[in-house]
């Protein structure tokens, strides 16, 4: 096994993916905070186009299993953006 193969084995262990998920959750908090501020820095359409609805559904179910209900609230509120801005089922069909 060469050094590159060892590096990739170490990089993609379970802890790595847990850290990525935590960063993703903190990013969703940032998105939600910025959208609810007086001067939003991110548009709803950008969120809807960049974050797949199905990935939010999967993340919500994982967080429910872990009983992280504060995080579930943020994910659920972002999912409500899709429902509020849905045009003839267009957004859900994209993902």
Report pLDDT digits (tens) over 65-75: 999 999 999 99
Higher-scoring residue by pLDDT: 95, 16: 16
pLDDT digits (tens, 9 = 90+) for 24-64: 899 999 988 888 888 877 887 788 888 888 899 999 999 99
The number of domains in the chain is: 1
pLDDT digits (tens, 9 = 90+) for 2-29: 655 555 555 555 666 678 888 889 999 9
For 27, the domain range is 3-94
pTM check: above 0.75: no
CB-side exposure of 82: number of CA atoms within 13 Å? 22
């Amino acid at each position: 096994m060469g050094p590159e193969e060892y590096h990739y084995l170490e990089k993609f262990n379970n802890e790595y993916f847990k850290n990525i998920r935590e960063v993703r959750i903190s990013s969703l908090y940032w998105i939600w905070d910025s959208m609810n501020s007086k001067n939003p820095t991110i548009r709803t359409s950008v969120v809807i186009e960049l974050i797949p609805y199905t990935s939010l559904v999967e993340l919500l179910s994982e967080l429910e299993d872990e009983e992280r209900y504060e995080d579930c609230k943020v994910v659920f509120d972002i999912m409500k953006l899709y429902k509020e801005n849905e045009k003839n089922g267009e957004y859900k069909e994209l993902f």
